């Protein structure tokens, strides 16, 4: 195929040069020199492509010389590289090479959508999977291979299956388990300042002020990544659900509106208040979430809202911090409940892939018990959604979860929240820098929901 096209390229150029000049002998020079140039060009092209092919064949000559492409976003792969390690093991065993293509988070959804729309996507796709937006994101019935008959389906946590299922058919495999986030705090600093864990927003504010007065940043915040600042708004979903009966269902049926949740607006106002008071430090708009590890390890910051593997990360980088971190429920708007997020990214196989069998082999390989264990031990997660592998959740976390009422985070239970996550992040930045009011941010969430619903022809909005 390549050759044919190269020739076509040549012809295009040559045709342009030859058509008119063929009659006169003198034009030969022109034609030859152009032809020579073009030959040289295609020779280089052929040489490089051959070299590349030769390289990949040599590596995989043992069993198979298939390379499957694995498209993912940055946070789809744990930074420890454990998935790549597993893929290397897989290659050793089968000869099938997995070619990882990592795209930055913010570009991933758009890129994947464009690729799927034109029918040219990766063999395996790593996609954030939740029952509400899966169809709009990748439309599995049209684009993905039905995996319902695979052996591992029965071993996966039944609670997670809905995330990767459309109309009764399973299309994907998920590995990371349920996540919760909470406020991680430095026990030493709390003790030194004689503070106790806050149960109300008022207490929380008072604590922040005392920590700030002692010269420490009370709360670490990193807005650079674009998503962290949004967590308080939607991960307080369990609290909203306690206050309003059947909230999520009513929101999805368009019987209630985001603007009916007064507490959400209250939280936005409180966030603004804390930012203005300096509780997030001075530079939180240019800080990254990853920077939290250092800020915590060096004692520059006393608290951070994070998922539980954060504690592991800090302990690994700063062994001194072992046992010095505790968690509590961040009392935005006096919230005292835990929001659970059972969804995560999952792997799907492209229906148009030439190597469907090889892709299935890879997923089967990842789903083997010993590899599940390896994945869990590889870091980045505290549990896998496979009941056969025991969770590594800390006892204090398990206790914390039992001590408070639980609910689902909003982005998993309510439609059109997750797709606008990054937009809300930008609005919140604008609120912090003074160009938007909390109320405007609040109203925008409702507005974007209506827009998305209209775009997707949601029947609940048609009325």
Partner 1 sequence: MNLNKRYPSYMAAGAFVLFAVLVFFPGILGIFYSFTNWNSYSSDIRFVGMKNYAKAFSNTEGYTGYIINTLLFTLFTTLLKTILGILLALLFNGTWVRGNHVHRMIIFSPQVMSYLIVGLVFKSLLNPSHGFVNVFLKWCGLGFLAQSWLSKPGLAFASVVLVDTWKGVGYIMMVVLAGLQVISTSYYEAASMDGASFWQQTRYITMPLLAPVLINVTVLNLTYGFRVFDIIYSLTHGGPGHATEVLNTAVYAEFAKGNYAMGTALSSILFVFVMSISYFLLKAMDVKEEADENA
Partner 2 sequence: MKTRKIFTRILLNLVTILLSLIFVTPMLVIFINSFKSASESNTMSLKLPSKWILDNYFIVAERGKITVSLMNSLLYAVCSAALILILVAMAAFVLSRNRSRLNRFIYYFIILGIAMPVSNVPLMKVMKTLHIINTRPGIILLYAAINIPISLFIVFGFVGSIPKDIDEAAILDGCTPMQLFTNIILHMLKPALVTIFVLNVMGVWNDFTMPLYYLDRSDKWPMTLAVYNFFGMYERQYNLVSADIVLTMCPVLLIFILGQKYIVGGISAGAVKG
- Footprint on residues 272-291 left by partner 1 (CB under 8 A): 282-283, 285-287
Q: Identify what 285 binds: partner 1, partner 2, none; CB under 5 to 8 Å per kind.
A: partner 1
**What's the chain's Rg over C-alpha atoms?**
27
Binding map of partner 2 across residues 24-43, x = CB under 8 A, - = no contact: x-xx-xx--xx--x---x--
Candidates 39, 57, 101, 200; binder of partner 2 (CB under 8 A) is: 101
Tokens of 216: 């420490």
Of residues 182, 164, 171, the one with CA closest to residue 385? 164
Candidates 28, 53, 93, 106; binder of partner 1 (CB under 8 A) is: 106
Binding piece for partner 1, criterion CB under 8 A, among 16-24, 72-80, 82-90, 266-274:
16-24
- Total number of residues binding partner 1 (CB under 8 A)? 37
Verify binding: residue 429, partner 1, rule CB under 8 A: yes
Verify binding: residue 115, partner 1, rule CB under 8 A: no
Binding map of partner 2 across residues 193-232, x = CB under 8 A, - = no contact: ----------------------------------------
Verify binding: residue 51, partner 2, rule CB under 8 A: yes
Verify binding: residue 48, partner 2, rule CB under 8 A: yes
Verify binding: residue 459, partner 1, rule CB under 8 A: no
Binding piece for partner 2, criterion CB under 8 A, among 107-115, 170-178, 320-328, 372-380:
107-115
Candidates 94, 115, 136, 250; binder of partner 2 (CB under 8 A) is: 115
Distance CA 454, CA 456 (A): 5
- Footprint on residues 130-149 left by partner 1 (CB under 8 A): 136
Q: Identify what 294 binds: partner 2, partner 1, none; CB under 5 to 8 Å per kind.
A: partner 2
Verify binding: residue 319, partner 2, rule CB under 8 A: no
Distance CA 342, CA 208 (A): 31
Bridge partners, residue 149, by sequence: none
When the beta carbons of 67 and 150 are compared against partner 2, the nearer one is 67
Q: What is the DSSP string of 161-230?
A: GGGGEETTEE-EEE-B--EEEEEEEEHHHHHHTT-----SHHHHHHHHHHHHHTTSEEEE---TTSSGGG
Q: Identify what 80 binds: partner 1, partner 2, none; CB under 5 to 8 Å per kind.
A: none
* 227 contacts: CB under 8 Å, gap ≥ 6: 105, 421, 422, 425
Candidates 2, 3, 5, 16; binder of partner 1 (CB under 8 A) is: 16
Candidates 93, 119, 159, 439; binder of partner 2 (CB under 8 A) is: 119
Verify binding: residue 2, partner 2, rule CB under 8 A: yes
At 79 the three-state DSSP class reads coil
- Total number of residues binding partner 2 (CB under 8 A)? 51
Biggest CA-to-CA distance, the chain: 98
Distance CA 99, CA 121 (A): 13
C-alpha atoms less than 13 angstroms from C-alpha of 212 in its C-beta half-sphere: 17
The residue count of the chain comes to 463
Of residues 378, 412, 356, 391, the one with CA closest to residue 144? 356
Candidates 226, 380, 407, 413; binder of partner 1 (CB under 8 A) is: 226
CB of 273 to partner 2, least distance (A): 32
Q: Let me know: does 74 contact 44? Beta carbons within 8 Å.
A: no
* 163 contacts: CB under 8 Å, gap ≥ 6: 129, 130, 131, 134, 172, 174, 342, 343, 344, 346
Tokens of 282: 């001075």
- Footprint on residues 283-312 left by partner 2 (CB under 8 A): 290, 294
Distance CA 279, CA 257 (A): 31
Helix (H) or strand (E) holding 369: helix 369-377
When the beta carbons of 105 and 393 are compared against partner 1, the nearer one is 105
CB of 85 to partner 2, least distance (A): 13
Q: The sheet that has 67-73: what strands, in order across it?
A: 97-103, 67-73, 124-129, 344-349, 172-174
Site residues (vs partner 2, CB under 8 A)? 1-2, 5-6, 8-9, 13, 16-17, 20-21, 24, 26-27, 29-30, 33-34, 37, 41, 44-45, 48-49, 51-52, 55-56, 67, 69, 74, 77, 79, 81, 99-104, 107, 111, 114-115, 117-120, 122, 290, 294
Site residues (vs partner 1, CB under 8 A)? 12-13, 15-17, 19-20, 106, 109-110, 113-114, 117, 136, 223, 226, 282-283, 285-287, 419, 423, 426-427, 429-436, 452, 455-457
């Amino acid at each position: 195929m390549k050759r044919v096209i190269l020739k076509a390229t040549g012809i295009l150029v040559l045709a342009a040069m030859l058509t008119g000049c063929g009659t006169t002998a003198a034009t030969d020079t022109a034609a030859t020199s152009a032809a020579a140039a073009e030959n040289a060009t295609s020779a280089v092209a052929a040489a490089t492509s051959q070299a590349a092919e030769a390289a990949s064949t040599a590596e995989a000559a043992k069993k198979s010389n298939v390379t499957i492409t694995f498209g993912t976003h940055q946070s789809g792969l744990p930074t420890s590289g454990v998935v790549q390690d597993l893929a290397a093991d897989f290659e050793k065993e089968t000869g099938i090479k997995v070619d990882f293509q990592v795209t930055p988070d913010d570009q991933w959804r758009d890129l994947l959508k464009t690729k799927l729309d034109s029918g040219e996507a990766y063999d395996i796709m790593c996609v954030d999977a939740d029952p509400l937006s899966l169809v709009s994101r990748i439309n599995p019935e049209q684009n993905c291979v039905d995996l319902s008959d695979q052996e591992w389906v029965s071993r996966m946590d039944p609670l997670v299956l809905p995330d990767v299922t459309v109309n009764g058919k399973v299309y994907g495999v998920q590995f990371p388990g349920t996540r919760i986030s909470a406020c991680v705090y430095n026990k030493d600093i709390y003790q030194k300042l004689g503070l106790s864990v806050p149960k109300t927003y008022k207490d929380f504010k008072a604590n922040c002020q005392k920590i700030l007065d002692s010269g420490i940043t009370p709360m670490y915040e990193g807005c650079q990544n674009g998503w962290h600042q949004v967590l308080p708004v939607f991960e307080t979903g369990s609290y909203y659900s306690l206050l309003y009966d059947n909230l999520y269902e009513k929101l999805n049926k368009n019987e209630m509106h985001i603007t009916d949740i007064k507490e959400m607006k209250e939280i936005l106002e409180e966030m603004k208040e804390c930012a203005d008071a300096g509780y997030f430090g001075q530079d939180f708009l240019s800080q990254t979430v990853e920077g939290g590890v250092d800020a915590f390890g060096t004692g520059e910051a006393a608290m951070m809202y994070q998922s539980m593997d954060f504690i592991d990360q800090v302990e690994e980088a700063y062994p001194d911090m072992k046992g010095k971190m505790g968690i509590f429920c961040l009392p935005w708007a006096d919230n005292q409940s835990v929001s659970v997020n059972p969804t995560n990214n999952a792997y799907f196989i492209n229906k148009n892939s030439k190597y469907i069998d090889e892709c299935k082999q890879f997923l089967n390989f990842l789903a083997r018990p010993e590899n599940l264990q390896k994945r869990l031990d590889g870091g980045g997660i505290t549990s896998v959604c496979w009941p056969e592998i025991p969770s590594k959740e800390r006892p204090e976390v398990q206790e914390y979860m039992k001590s408070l009422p639980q609910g689902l985070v909003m982005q998993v239970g309510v439609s059109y929240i997750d797709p606008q996550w990054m937009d809300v992040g930008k609005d919140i930045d604008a609120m912090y820098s003074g160009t938007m009011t909390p109320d405007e941010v609040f109203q925008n969430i409702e507005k974007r929901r209506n827009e998305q619903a209209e775009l997707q022809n949601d029947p609940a909005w048609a009325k």
